[in-house]
Amino acid sequence: MEPYGAPQAKFPSPRELAEGKPGAFDAFGDAILQRSAAMPMTIWLKSVFQYRVLGRVDTDKVVSGRGDWLFYKEQFWGAACQAPDFFREPIAQLDALTEMAEAGGLPMVVSVSPDKASTYPEALSPEYRKYWDCKLANSDLWRRIALVEAPSLVDHRTAVLEAKAASPETKMFFYTDTHWSPLGAANAFRQLLRSWRPAGMVNSAILKVDGKSARDTDMANNMLLLGGQEEIEGVDDRIADLAQDTSNVVVLHDSFYRIIAKQLQETFPNYVDLSFPYKKDELGRNIAMADRLIVNSVERSFFNRLNSRKGGQALHSAGPLGQAVLARNATASKQCRDFGALDEPSSDTGITIPIPIGSAEMTSCLRIQLKDWNRDGVKLFLPDRGHAESPSHHSVTFMPAGSNTLTMVLPQRVKGRSVRLEVPEGVEIVSVALGERLQPSR
């Protein structure tokens, strides 16, 4: 790995050079230059001049904020102002997946670590507004939408802003790193725990600043090759003393939760640590056996991971994580009983299924028999959360897995309402049956 954060260009094969493959010679030249001393030395000279002399850094990855602040440009999304639908659908889909996980006996919590710009907007430089314009509006917009469409989503910006207000002299983010500080991360971790543990217990655990230490930072070292370290406050976090959980917790995360690796290890001694990009089989195996699933992503990558077209479907229900969660739900559905077929299903590619209210201690189950289902996904739409009249975005996608039968446990929320099923062209709905399952005690 090249010190400035990008993989070194590989040497093209002799065959590629001989065939004159587009870009082959450029790759050859890049490979030589990147391995020479010239490039890192020039980057260092340029960075020193820009950061330490001019105080203005503007590269393809990094831009200066006020003072010593540096910001990673990817969090700005090219200064594009996004429309509400850009956020609403993926957030609603993730919420639906969370509900299906819960219904299948797998408590799932999704948390989002804030971008630096969302936490320290006052540190953004007006000189570089062309890069970060719309960032704050986008940031606020998706959060407003999430409050309605995904009320269980844990937005770590809340906790970090509270901690920032309580200790304004203590940094919640590094100046020259993309990540939050140990104190910011520790406060976020407490917020995560409070989503299912008693707040009083979590809040009473000791958390205090514990000296300062110098650390290498990614923007200064990897991207700008400036070298040097940044001092940041350490933390003495005794959360595990009060909130330890020995159950089988799976934590899927990116580099932000690595900062709380110690707390994770101490609080969840049996936890399974998985990071993006995950291995499909390993993820599936662990989710099948998990007692709890925690998914964390930093804000700038969150929507890419949710979007089915970009980001490899990492968080989309049609992706490996989503299918593992739905498979877990399907396993739970084996306990469903008393299936009664509904009337002749519609021959359209979609069907709306009313779910009876039933008794409080039971959850509803659904079994669908299909024909010729072997390619595209089947979508299940749960009732919308906030907008009774609007089409629901709360959907999950079941991908073909060799069987024409889908059986699932539905969330409690859908009782007394309707769900909608949509199948791809060419797939026939043969039968639909509703059953029920005794709700497991928590």
Partner 1 sequence: MVFSAANFLFLFLPFAVAICLFARRGPFLAAISLVSALFYYWSSGPYIFVLIAIAAIAYFGGLQLASLPEDATQSRRSLLLLFSGLILVLLFFFKYAGFVTQNVDIAFGFSLAHLFGDVPLPIGISFFTFQGLSYLIDVYRGEVAAERKPLVLASYLMFFPQLVAGPIIRYRDAVEDFRDPKISADNFGRGITRFSHGLAKKIIIADSIAPIADAIFGLPPGQANLTTAWFGATAYALQLYFDFSGYSDMAIGLALMLGIHFRENFQRPYASCSITEFWRRWHISLSSWFRDYVYIPLGGNRAGTVSTYRNLLLVFVLTGLWHGAAWTFLVWGLYHGAFLLMERFVFKDPVRVLHTYAFRYFYAVPVLLFGWVVFRADSLPHAFSLWSAMLSPSAPGAWDISQAAMAATPLQFAAFLLGSLIFVVPGTVSLGSRLMYAPLEGSPAWWVTGYTIVALGLSGGIALTAPFSPFLYFRF
> Among the candidate windows 15-23, 356-364, 387-395, 401-409, which touches partner 1 by CB under 8 A?
15-23
- Residues 215/237, Cβ–Cβ less than 8 Å: no
CB of 437 to partner 1, least distance (A): 52
> Among the candidate windows 128-136, 182-190, 237-245, 250-258, which touches partner 1 by CB under 8 A?
128-136
Task: Determine which residue in the list 30, 74, 291, 384 makes contact with partner 1, applying CB under 8 A.
Answer: 30
Q: Kindly state whether residue 127 participates in binding partner 1, applying the rule CB under 8 A.
A: yes
CB of 63 to partner 1, least distance (A): 8
Q: Kindly state whether residue 59 participates in binding partner 1, applying the rule CB under 8 A.
A: yes
Q: Kindly state whether residue 32 participates in binding partner 1, applying the rule CB under 8 A.
A: yes
Amino acid at 198: P
Nearer to partner 1, 24 or 370 (CB): 24
> Among the candidate windows 56-64, 187-195, 294-302, 424-432, which touches partner 1 by CB under 8 A?
56-64
Fill in the per-residue mask, 215 to 234: x = in contact with partner 1 (CB under 8 A), - = not in contact: --------------------
SS (H, E, C) the chain: CCCCCCCCCCCCCHHHHHCCCCCHHHHHHHHHHHHCCHHHHHHHHHHHHHHHHHCCCECCCEEECCCCCEEEHHHHHHHCCCCHHHHHHHHHHHHHHHHHHHHCCCCEEEEEECCHHHHCHHHCCHHHHHHHCCHHHHHHHHHHHHHHHCCCCEEHHHHHHHHHHHCCCCCCECCCCCCECHHHHHHHHHHHHHCCCCHHHHHHCCEEEEEEEEECCHHHHHHCCCCCCEEEEEEEECHHHHHCCCCCEEEEECHHHHHHHHHHHHHCCCCEEEECCCCHHHHHHHHHHCCEEEEEEEHHHHHHHHCCCCHHHCCCCCCHHHHHHHHHHHHHHHHCEEEEECCCCCCCCEEEEECCCCCCCEEEEEEEEEECCCCCCEEEECCCCCCCCCCCCCEEEECCCCCCEEEEECCHHHCCCEEEEECCCCCEEEEEEEEEEECCCC
267: region left, alpha or beta (phi > 0 left; psi from -120 to 50 alpha): alpha
Q: Kindly state whether residue 387 participates in binding partner 1, applying the rule CB under 8 A.
A: no
Cα–Cα distance measured from residue 303 to residue 78, given in angstroms and rounded to the nearest whole number:
14
Q: Kindly state whether residue 2 participates in binding partner 1, applying the rule CB under 8 A.
A: no
Q: Kindly state whether residue 341 participates in binding partner 1, applying the rule CB under 8 A.
A: no
Task: Determine which residue in the list 46, 197, 367, 420 makes contact with partner 1, applying CB under 8 A.
Answer: 46
426: region left, alpha or beta (phi > 0 left; psi from -120 to 50 alpha): left
Nearer to partner 1, 36 or 204 (CB): 36
Nearer to partner 1, 133 or 428 (CB): 133
Task: Determine which residue in the list 52, 66, 129, 337 makes contact with partner 1, applying CB under 8 A.
Answer: 129
Nearer to partner 1, 57 or 232 (CB): 57
Task: Determine which residue in the list 19, 231, 236, 338 makes contact with partner 1, applying CB under 8 A.
Answer: 19
> Among the candidate windows 29-37, 85-93, 176-184, 211-219, which touches partner 1 by CB under 8 A?
29-37
Q: Kindly state whether residue 25 participates in binding partner 1, applying the rule CB under 8 A.
A: yes
Task: Determine which residue in the list 133, 245, 266, 428 makes contact with partner 1, applying CB under 8 A.
Answer: 133
> Among the candidate windows 102-110, 125-133, 278-286, 389-397, which touches partner 1 by CB under 8 A?
125-133
Amino acid at 166: A
CB of 123 to partner 1, least distance (A): 17
Q: Kindly state whether residue 132 participates in binding partner 1, applying the rule CB under 8 A.
A: no
Q: Kindly state whether residue 136 participates in binding partner 1, applying the rule CB under 8 A.
A: no
Nearer to partner 1, 25 or 334 (CB): 25
Q: Kindly state whether residue 6 participates in binding partner 1, applying the rule CB under 8 A.
A: no
> Among the candidate windows 17-25, 257-265, 351-359, 401-409, which touches partner 1 by CB under 8 A?
17-25
Cα–Cα distance measured from residue 63 to residue 72, given in angstroms and rounded to the nearest whole number:
7
Q: Footprint of partner 1 on residues 252-311 (CB under 8 A)?
A: none
Binding site for partner 1 (CB under 8 A): 19-22, 24-26, 29-30, 32-33, 38-39, 42-43, 45-46, 56, 58-60, 127-131, 133
